[in-house]
């Protein structure tokens, strides 16, 4: 029995050493001896903390600026055409609507003109409803309920029913379009919809777009503990997103947002590492390999994946993500402590050290070209 206890103690101490002491030593090594280029990573002087990934292609930037400029000049037809050209790529269509929402936040006279000229246009009606929700949320702010002024909370709650009603009207204009359902799902938690009222909205969305990224992100917020779910419900929802993510979709990234939510509320600043959570992270990494490299959602998600893999002691996997990320380090995991370059460099060095990666014969250049 004594021998057995001694063996168990040795294993536990070894585990504690690996969890507590090894990362501390790796951080010291990263600060003093880590040479990024020896491991296929961009050098520290090449790191860019202004963005999480490369800027959009020049033609996309020009197109978006042209759409915004035309709208501000009163030309709503350019905006209408811009959204319509996305066809039934519902994620892309929603991305374009979000851009137009940002344009309308500064001046929405063109949107009023669009709605007046085409009262039966689902995109215009959806954009109007989404803008109403956004303005309500701007009054509330992003804090927890107890942090919001009573007057602002009352205004917030009073504005949402009208926004939901506008979204319902929009849904009737084009029954196949999931956009209005995303708006309703977004507003549902603020409007205090209980589960029985929320589920038909969710069913309505997935019947039209079963893999809609923004719709899943908004539903994840509903199912988290600070709204109308729990940690268990939120994680179950997020794991389902990983399992059903189709080829080419970044939907598996929803699981990373769930881990962020847990970390934010954890008194320890981290969440328990389990075989299931490690397996999920590996599946997320495989899913991301199927996403187009120019998907603008992917760089930020790779930062989150690298961060959570590092916390979960998946050091080789984290290092692979850092190699794919390249020199871009302007992402939340690294910016939250103030100096993104230092945090990013320490994370990369820790991944190298604890994965026991050997220096590469020739530095890789993935992600360096701007």
Cα 30 from Cα 341, distance rounded (Å)? 13
CA-based end-to-end distance of the chain: 63
Confidence (pTM): 0.89
Residue range 269-308, pLDDT digits in tens:
667 899 999 999 999 999 999 999 999 999 999 999 999 9
- pLDDT for res 12: 42
Cα 271 from Cα 311, distance rounded (Å)? 9
Cα three-residue angle 52-56-60, rounded to 5 degrees: 155
Going by pLDDT thresholds of 50, 70 and 90, the confidence category of residue 118 is very high
Closest CA to 52 of 252, 346, 352, 334: 334
Cα 158 from Cα 172, distance rounded (Å)? 23
DSSP string covering 187-213: HHHHTT--HHHHHHHHHHHHHH-TT-H
Cα 134 from Cα 116, distance rounded (Å)? 21
Cα 86 from Cα 94, distance rounded (Å)? 9
Residue range 65-90, pLDDT digits in tens:
999 999 999 999 999 999 999 999 99
Residue range 146-159, pLDDT digits in tens:
888 888 888 998 99
DSSP string covering 99-154: HHHHHHHH--HHHHHHHHH-TT-HHHHHHHHHHHHHHHHHHH-SS-GGGS-HHHHH
Whether 185 contacts 201, CB under 8 Å: yes
Cα 191 from Cα 265, distance rounded (Å)? 23
Helix (H, G, I), strand (E, B) or coil at 53: coil
- pLDDT for res 24: 74
Cα 51 from Cα 167, distance rounded (Å)? 33
Please give the DSSP secondary-structure letter assigned to residue 229.
S
pLDDT greater than 60 at residue 4 = no
Cα 90 from Cα 246, distance rounded (Å)? 14
């Amino acid at each position: 029995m004594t021998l057995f206890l001694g063996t168990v103690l040795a294993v536990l101490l070894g585990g504690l050493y690996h969890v507590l002491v090894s990362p501390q030593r790796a951080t010291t090594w990263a600060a003093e001896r880590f040479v990024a280029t020896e491991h296929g990573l961009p050098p520290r002087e090449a790191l860019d903390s202004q963005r999480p990934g490369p800027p959009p292609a020049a033609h996309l930037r020009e197109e978006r600026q042209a759409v915004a400029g035309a709208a501000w000049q009163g030309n709503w037809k350019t905006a209408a055409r811009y959204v319509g050209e996305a066809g039934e790529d519902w994620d892309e269509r929603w991305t374009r609507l979000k851009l137009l929402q940002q344009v309308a936040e500064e001046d929405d006279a063109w949107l009023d003109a669009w709605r007046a000229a085409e009262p039966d246009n689902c995109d215009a009606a959806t954009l109007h409803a989404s803008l109403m929700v956004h303005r309500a949320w701007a009054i509330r702010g992003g804090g927890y309920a107890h942090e919001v002024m009573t007057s602002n909370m009352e205004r917030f709650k009073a504005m949402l029913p009208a926004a939901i009603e506008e979204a319902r009207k929009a849904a009737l204009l084009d029954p196949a379009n999931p956009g209005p359902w995303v708006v309703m799902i977004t507003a549902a938690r603020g409007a205090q919809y209980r589960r029985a009222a929320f589920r038909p909205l969710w069913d309505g969305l997935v019947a039209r777009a079963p893999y809609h990224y923004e719709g899943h992100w908004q539903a994840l917020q509903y199912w988290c503990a600070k709204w109308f779910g729990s940690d268990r419900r939120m994680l179950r929802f997020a794991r389902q997103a990983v399992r059903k993510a189709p080829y080419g979709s970044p939907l598996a990234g929803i699981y990373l947002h769930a881990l962020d939510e847990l970390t934010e509320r954890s008194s320890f600043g981290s969440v328990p590492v389990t075989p299931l959570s490690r397996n999920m992270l590996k599946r997320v990494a495989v899913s991301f390999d199927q996403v187009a490299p120019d998907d603008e959602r992917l760089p930020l998600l790779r930062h989150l994946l690298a961060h959570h893999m590092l916390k979960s002691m998946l050091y080789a996997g984290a290092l692979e993500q850092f190699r794919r990320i390249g020199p871009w380090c302007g992402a939340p995991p690294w910016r939250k402590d103030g100096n993104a370059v230092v945090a990013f460099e320490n994370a990369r060095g820790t991944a190298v050290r604890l994965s026991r990666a050997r220096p590469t014969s020739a530095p890789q250049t993935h992600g360096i070209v701007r």
